[in-house]
Amino acid sequence: MNRQDTLIILAVACFVVFVWVMLSVYHAANTSTLSESVIEQTAPIQPSFDQAVISSMQNRIPVDPVYEMSAASGSAALNANQSSAASAGNMQPSLIP
């Protein structure tokens, strides 16, 4: 093989690689991997908010949570729950001895 044959083979190989890359880019640009339902679900939302709801949320009274319960308040709540069940006619035996 002489130098001219090698040059022709190299030119044809470069042309094939160039066409291959261009077709891959074209395919990637025109093919979507998302289904129609996903495209519909990811549509942007309307940026309109109910101003009355926002102002009522700003006027709410802040509540600080209590993460611990004392024994006295726990038994008072249990007694209140049992008395309300008894008055409703829903008698259930107590599980606490």
Is position 94 within any domain? Answer: no
The reply to whether the predicted model has a pTM over 0.85 is no
Is position 21 within any domain? Answer: yes
Is position 17 within any domain? Answer: yes
- Total count of domains within the chain: 1
Is position 15 within any domain? Answer: yes
The one-letter amino acid at 90: N
The pLDDT-based confidence of 31 (bands split at 50, 70, 90) is: confident
Measure the N-to-C terminal CA separation of the chain; round to a whole number of Å. 102
The number of beta carbons lying within 10 Å of the beta carbon of residue 6 is 10
DSSP 60: S
Q: What's the CA gap between 39 and 32, in Å, rounded?
A: 10
Is position 90 within any domain? Answer: no
Q: What's the CA gap between 44 and 50, in Å, rounded?
A: 18
Range of the domain at 15: 1-30
Q: What digits encode the pLDDT tens for the residues 3-17?
A: 999 999 999 999 999
Q: What digits encode the pLDDT tens for the residues 59-92?
A: 888 888 888 776 655 555 556 555 555 555 555 5
